[in-house]
Chains A and B, each alone.
Chain A
Amino acid sequence: MTPGGTSGAPGVVVVTGVGRYLGAHVAARLAADPRIERVIGVDAPDSGIEFTDLLDRVERIRVDNGSLGGLLADLDVDAVVHLALVTSPDPQHGGRSGMKDQNVIGSMQMLAACQRAPRLRKLVVRSSTAAYGVSFRDPAVFTEETEPREVPRGGFGRDILDLEGYVRGFRRRRSDVTATVLRFAPFIGSTADTTLTRYFSQPFVPTVFGRDPRLQFLHFDDALEVLHRSIVEDHPGTYNVAGPGVLSLSQAIRRAGRVAVPVLEPGLSGAAALARTMGFGSYGLDQVDLFVHGRVVDTSRLEQEYGFTPRSTAEAFEDFIRAHHGGVVVTRGQLAAAEQLVLDGIRQVRSAIRERSS
């Protein structure tokens, strides 16, 4: 509990992006940990007042990113958890340019502030498996060493590549700080509300024709667990965080009892662009690319270093299905009943034929 210098749980932790779902939950969880003295939630000044009940033990500060530098130094911050990332453009917050402001400029300012914070000894950055980019020559499974072969088309993927570049620079300049970069697979879970959970909640789910990408999900609670451990323990390095195992998109849609609607890829890209300009839906090229290429990562490094295995992709998805059974088109029970009906019908017909012929 001695702040600074020693390993173990840090005294003062700053969490960015507490106005968002992940940030709020991480801050609340850290605040509930008795080993941590102070949890300070930092958020943009124009953010909403969501999650206030969750954050009652968290000191909230609303500043813009530019004035963060003095703040981190004044507060004697030991650790920073940088979670303020926007995964898809939000028309209410400036669309794509607002997203870039937040992801790239915001992260740069954050890292600059961290660099000037004398007592800082731990930095945890949320990244994404989108850091591997998309290419047809990609290996099937990405390890942490895999370099992206092509710069992704989607804004979020490009932002992530930039962000990781800045973190590499920060690591060089502040080698005394334990920097952890967590490349998260898409979150899913019973309560999380993300682009993907909204996607799978629809009764009819658009897919890319002729493509059945392999997907991995991470249960939201496991993401919290990994982030928490990154703060109270020392795990320098870059880690893939995903549920082991794979679901293909068609399989996931069938398990959720939804109906896939294959769309030709150029059409889908166009539709995504159209939906974006008309201001509803947040499917971008990031999603289209994910649904063409799929993305599977190797999590053995995480399992070794953290001694923790997230629940598998299939289990995480099962949890999501249980919570979102509203829009189910076909249930397993119905399929089983149909199977029984057809089988009985065939048996009846065949026995009738046999009786007639004998």
Chain B
Amino acid sequence: MSGPEEGRDPQSVGRFDVPQQVPAPDAEPARRNGHRPAAQAAPTPTEPPASITPPASTPTPTAPRASSASPTAKPADEVDAGLTGGTEPAVSDRPGDHWDRKVANGLAFLRRRLSGDYEVDEFGFDSELTDAVFHPLLRLLYRDWFRTEVSGVEHVPVDGPALVVGNHSGTVALDALILSAALHDKHPAHRYLRLLGADLVFRMPVVSELARKTGGTVACNPDAERLLGGGDLVGVFPEGFKGIGKLYADRYKLQRFGRGGFVSAALRTGTPIVPVAIVGGEEIYPMLADIKPLARLLKLPYFPVTPTFPLLGPLGMVPLPSKWLIEFCPPIPTAHLTDSADDPLVVFNLADQVRETIQQTLHTLLERRPDPFGP
């Protein structure tokens, strides 16, 4: 039952650098005027410069070719092209192989999406969409907005299953998404973190599908064990709503870990547990109060009041730019405890061990970060 995403090489780094299988017009054409060196030719500082070295000395006669290739280009297409290219003129006067490939890749991606030519695994995980759309968006957030520093990635195994257990915070569960995107980017094997979400997430339309497409599934033991059994990296936040719905005054105080269902899932599959401490999530939407009657009315676990929400309306949805630190702790092996998956004593002890590890790491991280909104 290997998911189809395993065959896929998670190599893409660039924003639209989707895996390209189609013999699309991507290799083509190196149309440079020849008087600018390639090093200056990349005016986009945010892009990794690895993929922009075209064959420098190929005087391809592209302009005449392009015009002769599509003599039937209708005015509508011209307008369309102008619209799509509208964001480009700032750079298009620079030599354009890099951008041309981006456009070609983007269009090929669009075509594949529209014709259904992609794979979804049995949990609904769409690795192509995640790589091309969700991770780039999250990358902006975690890298540029939260200035996240990640340490201890070497504790996450390069292959095989592991259960990543973190602290939950931040009124909305943004920390889970940030963790999965950051781990995917920083990890040498670019592994996907398969998040386990509360069933409330899967009750909501749209949100449920976003969760599934990014690799999430319902937090229940059959799903967790199935993912771990398939060698996946599973992310879980045992605090649940108690963690994200706590007041700002209780920040970085780990809540109860429930029944420790995550521990029994790890024990049953003999999977190592990697505790992870996330600092910064508590300050993005500091929850000052919880309007309980309103929450009950809306059937939500809590209704948050932050300095900006609901005061500023939709503007209050913008997370405050806190400084984030993520540290992965050394894995706790469980392979020797496989028989004790139903032993409550073992389960609770292990859950406590994980909880204390995270709590202590949180304290050390907080000392390293005196100013929550520092650089």
Taking a contact as CB atoms closer than 8 A, the residue among A136, A146, A345 that contacts B203 in the complex is: A136
Interface residues of A in 111-152 (CB under 8 A from B): 136-141, 143, 146
Contact yes or no, A139 B223, CB < 8 A: yes
At the interface, yes or no: B33 with Cβ under 8 Å from chain A?
A: yes
Contacts of B111 in A (CB 8 A): 335-336, 338-339
Contacts of A212 in B (CB 8 A): 124, 209, 212-213
Contacts of A344 in B (CB 8 A): 66, 69-70, 73
Interface residues of A in 208-257 (CB under 8 A from B): 208-212, 214, 245-248, 250-255, 257
Size of the chain B interface, CB-CB below 8 angstroms:
63
Contact yes or no, A343 B208, CB < 8 A: no
Interface residues of B in 191-208 (CB under 8 A from A): 199, 202-208
Interface residues of A in 332-350 (CB under 8 A from B): 332, 335-336, 338-350
Q: For the complex, what is the distance from the CA of A347 to the CA of B202, rounded to whole Å?
A: 43
Q: For the complex, what is the distance from the CA of A358 to the CA of B226, rounded to whole Å?
A: 60
Contact yes or no, B96 A341, CB < 8 A: no
Contact yes or no, A354 B96, CB < 8 A: yes
Contacts of A353 in B (CB 8 A): 89, 92-93
Also in contact, A351 and B118, with CB within 8 A (given A339-B111, A344-B66) = no
Contact yes or no, B217 A140, CB < 8 A: yes
At the interface, yes or no: A298 with Cβ under 8 Å from chain B?
A: yes
At the interface, yes or no: B298 with Cβ under 8 Å from chain A?
A: no
At the interface, yes or no: A357 with Cβ under 8 Å from chain B?
A: yes
Contact yes or no, A136 B77, CB < 8 A: no
Contacts of A349 in B (CB 8 A): 78, 81-82, 85
Contact yes or no, A214 B218, CB < 8 A: no
Contact yes or no, B62 A351, CB < 8 A: yes
Interface residues of A in 247-300 (CB under 8 A from B): 247-248, 250-255, 257, 265, 294, 296, 298, 300
At the interface, yes or no: B152 with Cβ under 8 Å from chain A?
A: no
Taking a contact as CB atoms closer than 8 A, the residue among B73, B117, B120, B199 that contacts A136 in the complex is: B199
Shortest B272–chain A CB gap in Å is: 23
From B23-31, B182-190, B352-360, give the one contacting chain A. Answer: B23-31
Shortest A289–chain B CB gap in Å is: 14
At the interface, yes or no: B250 with Cβ under 8 Å from chain A?
A: no
Q: Which residue of B lies closest to A212 (CB)?
A: B209
Interface residues of B in 1-38 (CB under 8 A from A): 1, 4, 24-25, 29, 31, 33
Q: For the complex, what is the distance from the CA of A348 to the CA of B71, rounded to whole Å?
A: 11
At the interface, yes or no: B44 with Cβ under 8 Å from chain A?
A: no
Contact yes or no, B120 A247, CB < 8 A: yes
Also in contact, A350 and B222, with CB within 8 A (given A300-B1, A341-B77, A344-B70) = no
Contact yes or no, A346 B70, CB < 8 A: no
Q: Which residue of A lies closest to B4 (CB)?
A: A245
At the interface, yes or no: B121 with Cβ under 8 Å from chain A?
A: yes
Contact yes or no, A140 B226, CB < 8 A: yes
Taking a contact as CB atoms closer than 8 A, the residue among A246, A254, A341 that contacts B124 in the complex is: A246
From B100-108, B167-175, B252-260, B310-318, give the one contacting chain A. Answer: B100-108
Also in contact, A251 and B223, with CB within 8 A (given A350-B92, A351-B62) = no
Contacts of B31 in A (CB 8 A): 347, 351, 354
At the interface, yes or no: A74 with Cβ under 8 Å from chain B?
A: no
At the interface, yes or no: B63 with Cβ under 8 Å from chain A?
A: yes
Size of the chain A interface, CB-CB below 8 angstroms:
53
Also in contact, A342 and B115, with CB within 8 A (given A265-B205, A350-B96, A354-B96) = no
Interface string of B105-139 (1 = CB under 8 A from A): 00110110111111011111010000000000000
Interface residues of B in 235-285 (CB under 8 A from A): none
Contact yes or no, B223 A210, CB < 8 A: no
Contact yes or no, A248 B222, CB < 8 A: no
Contacts of A140 in B (CB 8 A): 122-124, 217-218, 223, 226
Also in contact, A254 and B116, with CB within 8 A (given A341-B73, A353-B92) = yes
Contact yes or no, B110 A339, CB < 8 A: yes
* Majority SS at the chain A contact face: helix
Q: Which residue of A lies closest to B71 (CB)?
A: A344
At the interface, yes or no: A330 with Cβ under 8 Å from chain B?
A: yes
Contacts of B96 in A (CB 8 A): 350, 354
Contact yes or no, B78 A345, CB < 8 A: yes
Contact yes or no, A139 B116, CB < 8 A: no
At the interface, yes or no: B220 with Cβ under 8 Å from chain A?
A: yes
At the interface, yes or no: B47 with Cβ under 8 Å from chain A?
A: no
Shortest B159–chain A CB gap in Å is: 22
Contacts of B40 in A (CB 8 A): none
Q: Which residue of A lies closest to B94 (CB)?
A: A354
Interface string of A302-319 (1 = CB under 8 A from B): 000000000000000000
Taking a contact as CB atoms closer than 8 A, the residue among B107, B205, B213 that contacts A343 in the complex is: B107
Q: For the complex, what is the distance from the CA of A357 to the CA of B108, rounded to whole Å?
A: 29
Q: For the complex, what is the distance from the CA of A80 to the CA of B63, rounded to whole Å?
A: 73
Shortest A110–chain B CB gap in Å is: 33
Q: For the complex, what is the distance from the CA of A208 to the CA of B85, rounded to whole Å?
A: 34
At the interface, yes or no: B84 with Cβ under 8 Å from chain A?
A: yes
Shortest B168–chain A CB gap in Å is: 19
- 5 extra A-B contacts, CB within 8 A, seeds A143-B222, A343-B103, A350-B88: A246-B122, A342-B84, A347-B66, A351-B66, A358-B93
Query: Which A residues contact B (CB, under 8 angstroms)?
Result: 136-141, 143, 146, 208-212, 214, 245-248, 250-255, 257, 265, 294, 296, 298, 300, 330, 332, 335-336, 338-351, 353-355, 357-358
Q: What 7 A-B pairs are tightest by C-beta distance, nearest first?
A: A210-B205, A345-B81, A254-B116, A255-B116, A139-B222, A210-B206, A351-B63
